[in-house]
Amino acid sequence: MLDQLAAAITRHRDGAWSVSAVPHLTVVALDEFTDPLDLLYEPMVCFIAGGAKRSAAGDRGWVTGRGEMIFNSLVLPVTATFEEVPYRSAVLRLDGRVLADLLLEFDDTAPGTTPDSGEPLTAPMTPEIIDAVTRWVRLLDTPQDIRPLAARTESEILYRLLGSPLGPALRQFTLADSAAAGVRSAATWISAHYTEPLSVEAIAAVAHMSTATLHRRFKAATGMSPLRFQKHLRLHAARRQLLAGDATAAQIAKTVGYASATQFNREYRRAYGLPPAQDAARLRGRMANATDGEVVLLN
């Protein structure tokens, strides 16, 4: 079954990371090893049909491989290393309203419990989930079927997920007053204001938590403190701008929120191993010889 899902993803790849014509579906296909990549995860469930990927966020890391799925509930800057290729996955970008509407159809008493932290969770895919995800991706074979069937198939996938080990965490994702929702609100707010000077007190107010509670729950979910999370967002954004080559390192440092170019250079080198200009030159050289798929992942 996984081979059929991988084949459907391969048929509809457009580079390595492809937003498809099916709403909420992205397909990922990578055939060669790359250097570690900076990615920004959003609320999603990723279904892996082939290969394996290591993701690292702050002090935390996890590996997901063939036959597994991972649920991420918040905006999260990560460094991804593809450990086994060819890598194939289908990504369901979560819409909380769709999930909430589905839950309203149930007289639902959530089975099981889950830590209410918002941290990414993994589980094996069941045959029923693999079948539903495969049919969802295969809608790209018959574009005329996307409009009448895509939403129905997505609902079936979510229904199957609610009955899986990820179900309790997905239910928490829909609750506005859960601790996970508070962390998610804080992460979303920081991602929208990462260029600004931020205080833990202001972030805690957004999350409706005390500063101590915010720090504890945010670090459990993301592997880093709120201010370290902001720094990762700044460095990710700076690296993308450096690759574009439209500004100097000093100009970019100011654009992403650094008051000191010296501090920016120091933190950038600590994160990526080289000063900004040298790192950008190295990456541009790699991209000049890369496949289209690698270029997509770097941008």
* pLDDT at position 181: 85
Q: Strand pairing partners for 29? A: 88
DSSP state of 289: T
SS3 readout for 93-136: ECCHHHHHHHHHCCCCCCCCCCCCCCCCEEEECCHHHHHHHHHH
| Residue listed under structure tokens 């005329």 | 144
Enumerate the CATH 2.60.120.280 domain ranges in the chain, comma separated.
2-173
Helix (H, G, I), strand (E, B) or coil at 205: helix
CATH 1.10.10.60 intervals, the chain: 179-228, 233-298
pLDDT at 96: 83
> For 233-298, which CATH superfamily applies?
Homeodomain-like (1.10.10.60)
pTM here is 0.85
Q: What is the pLDDT of residue 118?
A: 60
Whole-angstrom distance, CA of residue 156 vs CA of residue 144 = 19
CB distance 249 to 265 below 8 Å = yes
- Looking at residue 111, what is its pLDDT? 46
**pLDDT by 10s per residue, the chain, length 299:** 999 999 999 999 988 888 999 999 999 999 998 888 899 999 999 999 999 999 999 888 999 999 999 999 999 999 999 999 999 999 999 988 888 888 887 655 454 455 555 668 899 999 999 999 999 999 999 999 999 999 999 999 999 999 999 999 998 888 766 778 899 999 999 999 999 999 999 999 999 999 999 999 999 889 999 999 999 999 999 999 998 887 899 999 999 999 999 999 999 999 999 999 999 888 887 766 544 433 333 32
Domain formed by 179-228, architecture: Orthogonal Bundle (1.10)
The number of C-alpha atoms within 13 Å of 128 and in the hemisphere containing its C-beta is 9
- For the record, the structure tokens of 167 come out as 């179900």
Six-digit token pair at 45? 């469930």
Which of 56, 73, 45, 206 minimizes the C-alpha distance to 130? 45
What's the CATH number of domain 2-173, 3.40.50.300, 2.60.120.280, 1.10.645.10, 3.40.50.11440?
2.60.120.280
The number of beta carbons lying within 10 Å of the beta carbon of residue 195 is 15
The two three-digit tokens of residue 273, written as one number: 């191993």
Q: How many CA atoms lie within 13 A of 277 on its CB side?
A: 6
Neighbouring-strand partners of residue 20:
none
In angstroms, the CA 132 to CA 126 distance is: 10
Amino acid present at 138: R
C-alpha 299/C-alpha 296 separation (Å) is 5
